[in-house]
Structure 1
Amino acid sequence: MPNLIESSSYWNSKGILLDRMGKHKDALECFEKAKSIDPQDIDVITNIGISFDKLGKPEEALKFYDIALKKQEDTKTLYNKGISLSKIGKYSDAANCFKKVLSEEKNNKNAIINLAIALQKMERLEEAIQLLKEWGEFDYVYTRAQLMLENGKKQIEDSINLLQMCLNENPESIPSLENIAYALKMLGMEGESLRYLENVRHLYSERRKVEEKIKTLKDLLVNCLSNYEKIGLNLMAKKDLGKNYNFYKDIFEGLYKDILQIDEDYSSFLDNYGKRSISSSNVYIKELLVRVNSLSESLETLNVKIDEDIGRPSLRYIFYILDSLERKKESEIQLYLVNNGDMEAFEISIFIEKNKDLNISKVEDRIDSLKPMEYRSYTIPIKSKNEGSFDIKIYCNYKGKEIYETSTLYPLEIPYSLDNDSLYLISYLKVLRLDMDATAEEIKRRWKELSKYYHPDTTQDEKEKIIKEKILKEINEAYEGLKNYY
Structure 2
Amino acid sequence: MDSDKPEEWFKLAFDADDPEEKIEYFSLILEYENLDQELWSNEALALVWNNKGIALSFLGRDEEALECFMNSVRLNKNDVDVWCNMGIIHLNIGNHEAAIKCYNRILRLDPSNENAWVNKGDILSIMGMHNEAIECYSKVHKEIELDNKFAVVWNKKGLAYFGLGKYEDAVDCFNRVLKIDPEHIDAIENLKAAMSKAKQINEEISYPDSSCL
TM-score (norm 2): 0.68
User: Which residue in the other structure is 1:178 paired with?
Assistant: 186
Q: Find runs of 4+ consecutive structure 1 residues off by over 4 angstroms.
A: 2-6, 36-40, 185-189
User: Which residue in the other structure is 2:26 paired with?
Assistant: 31
User: Which residue in the other structure is 2:159 paired with?
Assistant: 149
Return the match for 1:95 from 100, 110, 114: 100
Q: Tell me, yes or no, if the aligned pair for 1:116 and 1:129 is still in contact at 8 Å.
A: yes
Q: Indicate yes or no: 2:66 matched with 1:66.
A: no
User: Which residue in the other structure is 1:118 paired with?
Assistant: 123
In the alignment, the residues of structure 1 paired with residue 48 and residue 56 of structure 2 have an alpha-carbon distance, to the nearest angstrom, of: 13
Q: Tell me, yes or no, if the aligned pair for 2:158 and 2:174 is still in contact at 8 Å.
A: no
Q: Tell me, yes or no, if the aligned pair for 2:130 and 2:163 is still in contact at 8 Å.
A: no
Percent identical among aligned pairs is 22
How far the C-alpha of 1:180 sits from its partner, in A, is: 2.2
In the alignment, the residues of structure 2 paired with residue 100 and residue 58 of structure 1 have an alpha-carbon distance, to the nearest angstrom, of: 20
- Which structure 2 segments of 5+ residues have no match? 198-213
In the alignment, the residues of structure 1 paired with residue 164 and residue 110 of structure 2 have an alpha-carbon distance, to the nearest angstrom, of: 35
Q: How does 1:336-347 map to 2 (within 5 A)?
A: none
User: Which residue in the other structure is 1:316 paired with?
Assistant: none
Distance 1:104 1:164, change over 3 A: same
In the alignment, the residues of structure 1 paired with residue 194 and residue 170 of structure 2 have an alpha-carbon distance, to the nearest angstrom, of: 12
How far the C-alpha of 1:126 sits from its partner, in A, is: 1.0
In the alignment, the residues of structure 2 paired with residue 95 and residue 160 of structure 1 have an alpha-carbon distance, to the nearest angstrom, of: 28
Alignment RMSD: 3.3
User: Which residue in the other structure is 1:165 paired with?
Assistant: 176
Give the strand-richer structure, 1 or 2: 1
Q: How does 1:84-483 map to 2 (within 5 A)?
A: 84-137=89-142, 138=147, 139-140=149-150, 142-149=152-159, 151-152=162-163, 154-172=165-183, 176-185=184-193
SS at match of 2:111: coil
How far the C-alpha of 1:100 sits from its partner, in A, is: 0.7
Counterpart amino acid of residue 55 in structure 1: L
How far the C-alpha of 1:43 sits from its partner, in A, is: 0.6
Distance 1:66 1:135, change over 3 A: closer
- Which structure 1 segments of 5+ residues have no match? 190-486
Q: Indicate yes or no: 2:14 matched with 1:13.
A: yes
Bigger Rg, structure 1 or 2:
1
Counterpart amino acid of residue 56 in structure 1: G
Q: Indicate yes or no: 2:46 matched with 1:42.
A: yes
Q: Tell me, yes or no, if the aligned pair for 1:145 and 1:158 is still in contact at 8 Å.
A: no
Counterpart amino acid of residue 178 in structure 1: D
Q: Tell me, yes or no, if the aligned pair for 2:10 and 2:26 is still in contact at 8 Å.
A: no
